[in-house]
């Protein structure tokens, strides 16, 4: 609890171009539930360097991402929006938590296995201990709730295990966080292969809708989306391509799958794909316009970056000092 409110933490990597999956699975929910919580939304740039990055590009993407958080509707006066690398406690707590995490646990992480396979020439220790840094992000603010897409569930379970283990030794130090998974959009699939999640790192750009795609590109990608052979708009496991499009349509319009089936009863895939594309444009266009407007105001963004980093540093220090004392680090002399 912070100022009588429960605490919410979440973050996104400033790597690659953000996709509709990131938006519907995470960012959109962040905005919907923000008012109920004391919130910390981080641009997790420290996580990004587990894979080699071009420094100038990483800096640019981090700023773009931070601006997108605001453009999506998060008021930086009310929500602490900041760069992870500006708050020292993330790395400091991660080190301590590393000493409470087992190799066997990290070896089981599916994201590590996937990334290690993709970057076989650079399987660094950071890639392996990445989930511990993520646990530190969350536990540093005594977070109650963590809104994420389904792909992050395994990391969240590990965070809970680490927190419980630590509390088991030292008493009630950490709040045990819960995942918040949205009802729709928790796993947006690729438009070209509905068995795969839509991903920033997909080599095929037609599989993903990027948040900065212009309306024509969005419509074209939906027209090309892989569908199924039943030729009717029905929400079922046997039609994974159509199911994914229905999910996207519902997430963008607020309609239910049953309403969508009725709306497109007797109509072909062509009409439906067009409608899905338009529903996505109607959500992304205002976001893009607001982003362009905000990007022009350098001084405003700089002040958000500075003030919120200070706020995050202040709150995170409280937990960090407590943890340092518990594990036996000498007290600071003032």
Query: Is residue 140 near ligand TYM by the rule CB under 6 A?
Result: no
Query: Is residue 90 near ligand TYM by the rule CB under 6 A?
Result: no
**Sign of CA pseudo-dihedral 159, 165, 166, 167:** positive
Verify whether residue 200 is a known catalytic residue. yes
Closest-CA residue to 165 (of 225, 105, 234): 105
Position with the least CB separation from ligand TYM = 25
Q: Which residues sit opposite 80 in a β-bridge? A: 40
CA distance 104 to 93: 20
Q: Which of 92, 105, 151, 278 binds ligand TYM (CB under 6 A)?
A: 151
For residues 9 to 38, the per-residue mask of contacts with ligand TYM, x marking binding by CB under 6 A and - elsewhere, is: xxxxx-------xx--xx------------
Q: Which residues sit opposite 83 in a β-bridge? A: 43
Q: Please report how close the Cβ of residue 94 comes to ligand TYM at its closest, in angstroms.
A: 10
Query: Is residue 47 near ligand TYM by the rule CB under 6 A?
Result: yes
Q: Please report how close the Cβ of residue 100 comes to ligand TYM at its closest, in angstroms.
A: 17
Please pick, among 28, 78, 118, 200, the residue that the annotation labels catalytic.
200
CB nearer to ligand TYM: pick between 237 and 331 = 237
Q: Which residues sit opposite 19 in a β-bridge? A: 210
39 secondary structure, DSSP code: E
CB nearer to ligand TYM: pick between 25 and 76 = 25
Sequence-distant (6+) residues with CB within 8 A of 34 are 8, 74, 78, 79
Interface segment toward ligand TYM; rule CB under 6 A; list 4-12, 213-221, 238-246, 300-308: 4-12
Verify whether residue 197 is a known catalytic residue. yes
Q: Do residues 5 and 141 lie in contact, with contact meaning Cβ atoms separated by under 8 Å?
A: no
Q: Please report how close the Cβ of residue 111 comes to ligand TYM at its closest, in angstroms.
A: 7
Interface segment toward ligand TYM; rule CB under 6 A; list 32-40, 101-109, 143-151, 307-315: 143-151
Q: Please report how close the Cβ of residue 127 comes to ligand TYM at its closest, in angstroms.
A: 12
Provide the residue count of the chain.
334
Q: Do residues 25 and 186 lie in contact, with contact meaning Cβ atoms separated by under 8 Å?
A: yes
Binding residues for ligand TYM restricted to 160-189, rule: CB under 6 A: 185-188
CB nearer to ligand TYM: pick between 186 and 304 = 186
Q: Where are the alpha helices (DSSP H) in the chain?
A: 20-22, 28-33, 45-48, 55-71, 89-98, 103-107, 110-118, 125-139, 153-170, 215-223, 240-253, 257-263, 269-295, 298-327
CB nearer to ligand TYM: pick between 10 and 67 = 10
CB nearer to ligand TYM: pick between 109 and 304 = 109
Query: Is residue 197 near ligand TYM by the rule CB under 6 A?
Result: yes
Q: Please report how close the Cβ of residue 276 comes to ligand TYM at its closest, in angstroms.
A: 16
Q: Please report how close the Cβ of residue 318 comes to ligand TYM at its closest, in angstroms.
A: 18
Q: Please report how close the Cβ of residue 214 comes to ligand TYM at its closest, in angstroms.
A: 21
Q: Do residues 173 and 142 lie in contact, with contact meaning Cβ atoms separated by under 8 Å?
A: no
DSSP 196-232: SB--TT-S-GGG--BTT--HHHHHHHHHT----SS-S
Q: Which of 38, 45, 137, 202 binds ligand TYM (CB under 6 A)?
A: 137
Query: Is residue 194 near ligand TYM by the rule CB under 6 A?
Result: no
Sequence-distant (6+) residues with CB within 8 A of 185 are 21, 24, 25, 28, 29, 149, 247, 248, 251
CA distance 215 to 298: 27
Give the active site residues: 115, 197, 200
What is the binding site for ligand TYM (CB under 6 A)? 9-13, 21-22, 25-26, 44, 47, 134, 137-138, 146, 148-149, 151-152, 185-188, 197-198
């Amino acid at each position: 609890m912070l100022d009588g409110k429960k605490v919410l933490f979440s973050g996104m990597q400033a790597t690659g171009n953000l996709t509709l999956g990131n938006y519907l699975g995470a960012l959109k929910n962040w905005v919907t539930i923000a008012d109920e919580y004391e919130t910390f939304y981080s641009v997790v740039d420290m996580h990004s360097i587990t894979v080699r990055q071009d420094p100038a590009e990483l800096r640019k993407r981090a700023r773009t991402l931070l601006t997108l958080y605001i453009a999506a509707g998060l008021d930086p006066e009310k929500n602490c929006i900041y760069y992870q690398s500006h708050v020292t406690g993330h790395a400091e707590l991660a080190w301590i938590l590393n000493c409470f995490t087992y190799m066997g646990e990290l070896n089981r992480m599916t994201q590590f296995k996937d990334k290690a396979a993709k970057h076989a020439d650079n399987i660094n220790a950071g890639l392996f201990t990445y989930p511990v840094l993520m646990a530190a992000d969350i536990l540093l603010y005594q977070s109650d709730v963590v809104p994420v897409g389904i792909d992050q569930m395994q990391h969240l379970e590990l965070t809970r295990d680490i927190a419980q283990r630590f509390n088991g030794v030292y008493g009630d130090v950490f709040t045990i966080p819960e995942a918040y998974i949205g009802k729709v959009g928790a796993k947006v699939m690729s438009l070209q292969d509905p068995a795969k999640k839509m991903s920033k790192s997909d080599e095929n750009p037609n599989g993903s809708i990027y948040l900065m795609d212009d309306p024509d590109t969005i419509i074209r990608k939906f027209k090309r989306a892989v569908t199924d052979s039943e030729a009717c708009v029905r929400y079922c496991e046997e039609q994974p391509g159509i199911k994914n499009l229905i999910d996207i349509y519902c997430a963008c319009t607020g309609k239910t799958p049953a309403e969508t089936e009725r709306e497109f009863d007797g109509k072909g895939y062509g009409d439906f794909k067009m409608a899905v594309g338009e529903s996505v444009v109607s959500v992304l266009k205002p976001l893009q316009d607001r982003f362009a407007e905000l990007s022009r105001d350098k001084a405003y963004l700089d002040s958000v970056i500075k003030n919120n980093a200070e706020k995050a540093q202040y709150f995170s220090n409280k937990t960090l000092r407590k943890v340092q004392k518990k594990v036996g680090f000498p007290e600071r002399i003032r």
